[in-house]
Chain A
Amino acid sequence: MNIFFFKITILIYFVGTVFYLFYFSSKKDSFSKFALGVTAAGFLFHTIALLLRTVESGHLPLSNLPEMLSFFSWAMILTYLVLEVRYRIHILGSFILPLAFLFLASAAAFPHEIRTLQPDLNSSWFGIHTTLSVLGGVAFTIAFVAGLMYLIQERLLKSKRFSILYYKLPSLDLLDQLNQWAISAGFPLLTLGILAGAIWASDVWGSYWVWDPQRIFTLITWLFYLGMIHGRLTIGWRARKAAYLAIIGFMGVVFTFFLVNILAKGPHRFI
């Protein structure tokens, strides 16, 4: 049953993406209202799909790559809806929804059978570790989107081109704040996720840390964001530089979360 809701959600997110892209390139504000309504409906279906899958599998739907991608996409939409209510930056949806759709559509490319967790992995640390890590990743995605929007608005302001986007994109200051907020939220989430993973690993394998590719790249990503926060606080890595760093960091997140998962072997290889 969860597959049915999952497929409906993909379809709805696609429609939402189309509306948001129309909004991105046209003058009609009504497109964003349609898009928001569609997104909210999609989020409802997505939530039902995840709940059904949790009930059917008996554990959080984070045990393999498609589940991770789906949960990642769901958390992105949830964060977007919260930001939309708080800041009313409609154009944010034109960036977030295509990404969320892409993640969910990628999940559809993998087999969808429910995997039973190995008994030694089935602990409460599993939920804590994966949820915190995914939420950290989502926060870094928001920072990436804010960075991207910052660079576009900055270019428009520098080149003195007052296109539709100039009017739709918020102020540079707000985008820089959003970037900072997202990194500040994402970093502790990822840190706690790593710590929970280490405790879990110690429980299961008797060792806090194993040098597998996923852990190595996670550590690199973590150090990158640590450096970014340090640079912002002490050297003044803000505005344009912070926007670039958020984009580079996101590449690291995608690589660490998903690509290493596909390419490397180890305990984090889900597929």
Chain B
Amino acid sequence: MNIVLVGLNHKTAPVEIREKFSFPESLLGKYLSQLVASPLVSEGLILSTCNRVEICTTTENVPETFDFLSRFLFESSRENPAIPFSQFTRHLYFYSSEDAISHIFRVSSSLDSMVVGEPQISGQLKEAFDYAMINKSTGVILNKLFKKAISVAKRVRTQTKISENAVSVSYAAVGLARKIFGDLSGKTVLLVGAGEMSELAARHLVNNGVKTVMVTNRNYQRAVELAREFNGVSVKFDDLKADLAEADIVICSTGAPYFLIDREMVEHAISRRKNRPIFLVDISVPRNIDPKVNSLDNVFLYDIDDLQSVVEANLKERMKEAEKAELIISEEVETMDRWLKSLNVVPTIIAIREKVESIRKTEVDKTIAKWGREISQDEISAIETLSQNIINKILHFPLSVLKSEAHQSHGQQVIQTTRKLFDLEAEENQILSDSGVDLPHPDASPESQENPLSRARESQDNK
């Protein structure tokens, strides 16, 4: 059984294509049912976010499934796609086997995201998986794969610093404020002007504990409205000099083409604050705070370019952490791949055991029938036990070898040879048609997967 994945994302398709091929949540159930109704697809899952649409399935026939999934995606377009199918496929990526596993792990760990390390994708992937589970479109393999993807994302998050440090301009101000003031609870922020970005920065600050929001604006009514949004206070624009002393953080964003806050005003504020530090963020272009202010003791001034450089520095840090994450992922892909390959051997093992058991049963029954009433119940039990022990001992070593060889590069060849040796075609086909495959744990060594028969048939329950 193979894992295949077809999709498009922000790297391969522009937004006008992505938005047309996204799956609305209300129709996801319908599409999942259609997907697994195909004879090509055994299990299926659809991940649809604003930046990516991906369909992941399991199949026996990789090339045909690629074609089918491409067509399936194309036909799911919410409106007229306005591009021919041949052009649409240029925006797609196709992964199978190890590459598909690796891609899913990279997606869940946010290495494939527009902003590397942003944590939302992990939750979106979990939702997609839950949705597929509710709609019973996944089975043994995809269940294991996506559970693993969620745990890999968690491992990456805890073992690297990929999600640390702000990578948006408005959030960078919060990070800097924390480096200056530590805990932000009880701090006061003064918004000078009512620009969108300063409002966003203020919102981040409030979410991080800032207690009081003061708003001042040339248009006082606008200041009153904005202050109301933050449950804060509006102050008169003419009182800016006096109000500066009250603020720990000042966010300035106005359209004024000159410095609204100069060195003398900040000097005055710092003196009144008895040297308690003050953090000024100037988001305005042209700037509204005199850059000379930064040379004052206990005053920290950042303009839009400075914030941008913070973001860039943080992004660089994330990229370095992403390298560590890639190592974790390649390790986990190997574990998952070993598990998948070990699944190939399960029908063969079941078939061997069933065949040998059938031979044993036939021969024991023949013998017992020959003896008729001369043989007691205890003796029948002894013969049963003896014959079972003999076949168990004979099969033990070959089956162990088979299991350990199954995930090697020549594994398929070993399985084929075994099938020929035991003449298993008929039995195995029966087993596959019953879909009774084993569930060895992806982290378990092949040696520990001792009794595949006892764990078989679980996939049917998951269907």
Interface residues, chain A, CB within 8 Å of chain B?
A: 27, 153, 157-158, 160, 162, 166-167, 170-174, 235-241
- Which residue from chain B places its CB closest to the CB of A174 in the assembled complex? B182
Per-residue A-contact encoding for B285-309, CB less than 8 Å = 1, 0 else: 0000000001001101010001001
Given contacts A171-B178, A241-B297, contact A235 B309 (CB under 8 A): no
Q: Do most interface residues of chain A lie in helix, strand or loop, or is the interface mixed? A: helix
In the complex, the answer to whether A157 meets B179 with C-beta atoms within 8 Å is yes
Q: Please report the number of residue pairs spanning A and B whose Cβ atoms sit closer than 8 angstroms.
A: 55
Binding stretch for chain A, among B133-141, B225-233, B270-278: B270-278
In the complex, the answer to whether A158 meets B274 with C-beta atoms within 8 Å is no
Per-residue A-contact encoding for B153-195, CB less than 8 Å = 1, 0 else: 0000000000001000000000010111111000000000000
- A94 to B276 Cα, complex, angstroms: 27
- A153 to B313 Cα, complex, angstroms: 16
- A160 to B297 Cα, complex, angstroms: 15
Interface size (B, Cβ < 8 Å)? 25
Given contacts A166-B179, A172-B277, 13 further A-B contacts (CB under 8 A): A153-B179, A157-B179, A158-B300, A160-B309, A162-B310, A162-B313, A162-B314, A167-B317, A171-B178, A173-B277, A238-B274, A239-B298, A240-B298
Min distance, Cβ B11 to any Cβ of chain A, angstroms:
28
In the complex, the answer to whether B276 meets A27 with C-beta atoms within 8 Å is no
In the complex, the answer to whether A160 meets B180 with C-beta atoms within 8 Å is no
Residues of chain A within 8 A (CB-CB) of B302 are 160
- A176 to B320 Cα, complex, angstroms: 32
Residues of chain A within 8 A (CB-CB) of B276 are 236, 238-239
Residues of chain B within 8 A (CB-CB) of A236 are 273-276
Per-residue A-contact encoding for B318-334, CB less than 8 Å = 1, 0 else: 00100000000000000
Residues of chain A within 8 A (CB-CB) of B294 are 158
Residues of chain A within 8 A (CB-CB) of B274 are 235-236, 238
Given contacts A160-B302, A160-B306, A160-B309, contact A173 B181 (CB under 8 A): yes
Interface residues, chain B, CB within 8 Å of chain A?
A: 165, 176, 178-183, 273-277, 294, 297-298, 300, 302, 306, 309-310, 313-314, 317, 320
In the complex, the answer to whether B180 meets A27 with C-beta atoms within 8 Å is no
Residue from B179, B309, B314 in contact with A172 in the complex, judged by beta carbons closer than 8 Å: B179
Min distance, Cβ A123 to any Cβ of chain B, angstroms:
45
A-B contact pairs, 24 of them (CB 8 A): A157-B176, A160-B302, A160-B309, A162-B313, A167-B165, A167-B317, A171-B179, A172-B180, A172-B277, A173-B181, A173-B183, A173-B277, A174-B182, A235-B274, A236-B273, A236-B274, A236-B275, A236-B276, A238-B275, A238-B276, A239-B297, A240-B297, A240-B298, A241-B297
Residues of chain B within 8 A (CB-CB) of A171 are 178-182
Min distance, Cβ B228 to any Cβ of chain A, angstroms:
30
In the complex, the answer to whether A241 meets B180 with C-beta atoms within 8 Å is no
In the complex, the answer to whether B275 meets A241 with C-beta atoms within 8 Å is yes
Min distance, Cβ B328 to any Cβ of chain A, angstroms:
16
Min distance, Cβ A89 to any Cβ of chain B, angstroms:
11
Residues of chain B within 8 A (CB-CB) of A237 are 275
Residues of chain B within 8 A (CB-CB) of A157 are 176, 179-180, 300
Residues of chain A within 8 A (CB-CB) of B273 are 236
Residues of chain B within 8 A (CB-CB) of A235 are 274
- A63 to B297 Cα, complex, angstroms: 44
The 6 closest A-B pairs by CB, nearest first: A236-B274, A171-B182, A173-B182, A162-B313, A236-B275, A239-B298
Residues of chain B within 8 A (CB-CB) of A160 are 302, 306, 309-310
Residues of chain B within 8 A (CB-CB) of A170 are 182
- Which residue from chain A places its CB closest to the CB of B277 in the assembled complex? A239
- Which residue from chain B places its CB closest to the CB of A159 in the assembled complex? B294
Min distance, Cβ B111 to any Cβ of chain A, angstroms:
19
Min distance, Cβ A267 to any Cβ of chain B, angstroms:
41
- A222 to B430 Cα, complex, angstroms: 92
